[in-house]
Amino acid sequence: MVLVMVGGCLAGGCAAPIKWMRRFGYEHWALISNLVGLVVLPWGATLSLCPGVLAAYGSVSPALLLKANLFSLSWGIANVLAGLCLVRIGFSLSVGLLTGIGLPIGVLTPVLLRGSGVFAQAPALNSSGGRLIICGVAVMLAAVVLVTLAGFGRDAVLKRRSERSTGFAGGMIMAVVAGFLQVGLSFAFVYSQGPIVEALRAHGAGAAASNIGVWAITLPGGALVNLAFPAWLLTRRRTWAVFVGATHDVAWALVIGVSFFCFVVAMGQGMRWLGPLGASVGFGVLQAMQILASQTVGALSGEWQGVHGRPRTQMVVAVTLLLLAVVVLAVGNALA
């Protein structure tokens, strides 16, 4: 549980270094951080820690690897759409839609359609643990609504209301689609890790190393989109030259990449350690901690400065509900 919570905090705070960059735009830091976090570190660690890794991968069903990378690809598409949503419909509505749609899908699907390995033994939703998970999801959705309302209230106080341009409807559609697709990162692991871990362990890899090995072979689908899109933007805007001499910003982009890698490793290992309900409980706790971490980063960086009254109260209640939801999910997992 602690490891998943750490992963959620890393996910929620990994983009914080963007605030300290001087020259980089989205396309610059995204290219570097995604290259490091999705390709260099997973493959570097896997090749170093897993003996006979290529033979191990070769023994896994190609159909399973394809399925995992399609999930990963969907998450990559969601990342791009989420970035566009922030511009078109604003942060608060984007977060509300993305989390509100993705949360129940990510938590309930692994119980209804059981994953691989340890997750194949997940109890039914009508079990005591399953019912508590449903309660936890309900509490978290209430918190998401409050976070969204608080965000709207903050923007109104700071006079930063989003303009409903001709792209607003398109932004809403993108947010809904991204909400469904964002669970791909979790599903890529949940529905493939059993056979991959078994193959890596059979060739001599340790438990922690085999967890990393799952990510190395399942992230290429997501990396394809997350590298191609910023590269396309760099070419279209002719801003490749910005990299020259931008040592300060490059360093922060590397921090984002390392943080992402640590996040997925913590998420995967934490889910496995949680047991049969780890895919569901782990995803729910991860989402809760991610929201808490991102709001904490926002508060510390001054995003809530000068905001009082109802928006601040709503955020405090939302944080309390998120913490309560984590407790409910933990109890549900213990009863499984």
Residue 227's nearest CA partner among 42, 36, 8 is: 36
Residue entry with tokens 């929620």: 12
Token pair in block for residue 44: 């570097």
- Cα–Cα distances in Å, from 75 out to 70, 218, 259? 9, 11, 18
HSE of 151, CA atoms in CB hemisphere, 13 A? 21
The domain spans of the chain are 2-335
* Per-residue confidence (pLDDT) for residue 75, from 0 to 100: 94
Note down pLDDT in tens along the chain; length 336 residues.
Answer: 778 888 777 777 777 888 889 999 889 999 999 999 999 999 999 999 999 999 999 999 999 999 999 999 999 999 888 877 766 766 656 666 777 788 888 888 888 888 888 888 888 878 888 888 888 888 888 887 887 787 777 767 766 544 444 466 777 788 889 889 989 999 999 999 999 999 999 999 999 999 999 999 999 999 999 999 999 999 999 999 999 989 999 999 999 999 999 999 999 999 998 888 888 888 888 877 877 777 777 677 676 677 778 888 888 888 888 788 878 888 887 776
Residue 186's nearest CA partner among 100, 281, 326, 96 is: 281
* Per-residue confidence (pLDDT) for residue 148, from 0 to 100: 76
Residue entry with tokens 């191609």: 228
Yes or no: say if 94 and 175 are a contact pair by the CB < 8 Å rule. Answer: yes
* Per-residue confidence (pLDDT) for residue 158, from 0 to 100: 65
Yes or no: say if 146 and 315 are a contact pair by the CB < 8 Å rule. Answer: yes
- SS3 assignment, position 69: helix
